[in-house]
Structure 1
Amino acid sequence: MNDAPTADPFRATGWFKSSYSAADNECVEVSCAWARVAIRDSKAFTRDRLIVSADTFAVFINSMKAGSR
């Protein structure tokens, strides 16, 4: 059995913020890897992250866009 730690796919892809983020960095960051999206707090980036499927994230984004009209 291989007990070696696995590489963090989200570290390799990098994290980014929305262009709508406030200048004071009060936002979330996302990273995409292997059909999954990781979401973290930009001010507490060492804490746990929420990981969802790309499809689930797309539904979330589309519902946010629809609610903003």
Structure 2
Amino acid sequence: MPTSHNLPSGQPGDAAWRKSTYSAAHNECVEIADLPNAIAVRDSKSVSHQPLVLPRSSFTDFITGCRTGHWDTPD
């Protein structure tokens, strides 16, 4: 299971964030940024919050979990 990690010093300002194409028509936007050894994920409405940073080796597992509802909560 992916874990969050602290961003290395200086990385957030240098990151080039991209918005998910699936989020374009909705207010629930997710952005990702490629870091040297990781992928950062953040909510575009909360850019001041620390992003979730995943090792590149865990990013695919994270996306699979999102697609399959692994982290969904009951309504």
Superposition TM-score tier, normalisation by shorter sequence: 0.5 to 0.7
Aligned-pair identity in percent equals 35
Q: Flag structure 1 segments of 5+ consecutive residues without an equivalent.
A: 1-5
Partner of 2:41 in structure 1? 39
Large movers: runs of 4+ above 3 Å: 62-65
| CA-CA distance at 1:48 after TM superposition | 1.4
Larger Rg: 1
Farther-moved stretch of structure 1 (44-53 vs 16-25): 16-25
Partner of 1:52 in structure 2? 54
Q: Flag structure 2 segments of 5+ consecutive residues without an equivalent.
A: 1-8, 69-75
| CA-CA distance at 1:63 after TM superposition | 4.8
| CA-CA distance at 1:64 after TM superposition | 4.7
Q: Distance in 1 between matches of 2:65 and 2:52?
A: 18
